[in-house]
Amino acid sequence: MAIQLMQNNTAQHMSFIAPAKLNLFLHINGRRPDGYHELETLFVFLDYGDILNFEVTDSKKITLVDEVCDVKPEDNLIIKAALALQKATGCTFGANISLEKVLPMGGGVGGGSSDAATTLLILNLLWQTNLSLEQLCEIGIKLGADVPVFINGVAAIAQGIGEKLKPIDLEEKWYLVVHPNVHISTAKIFGHPDLPRNTPKLKDDWKQSKISNDCEELVKKYYPEVDQTLQWLLKYAPSKMTGTGACCFASFETQAQAQSVLEALPNCWQGFIAKSAMVSPLHKQISTEKK
Catalytic positions are 21, 146
Residue 230 makes CB contacts below 8 A (sequence gap 6+) with 216, 220, 239, 240, 241, 248
- The single-letter code of the amino acid at 72 is K
Residue 23 in contact with residue 42, Cβ under 8 Å? yes
In DSSP notation, 56-103 reads EESS--EEESSPPTT--GGG-HHHHHHHHHHHHHT---EEEEEEE--S
Alpha carbon distance 252, 172 (integer Å): 10
CB under 8 A, 24+ apart: contacts of 203-211: 206/25, 206/42, 206/157, 211/24, 211/25, 211/27, 211/42
Alpha carbon distance 22, 108 (integer Å): 8
C-alpha R_g of the chain: 19
* 273 φ, ψ (degrees, to nearest 5): -115, 145
Reduced DSSP (H G I as helix, E B as strand, rest coil) percent helix, strand, coil of the chain, to 5: 30, 30, 40
Integer CA distances (angstroms), 61 to 83, 93, 123, 249, 274, in order: 9, 8, 13, 39, 36
Distance between start and end Cα atoms, the chain: 9
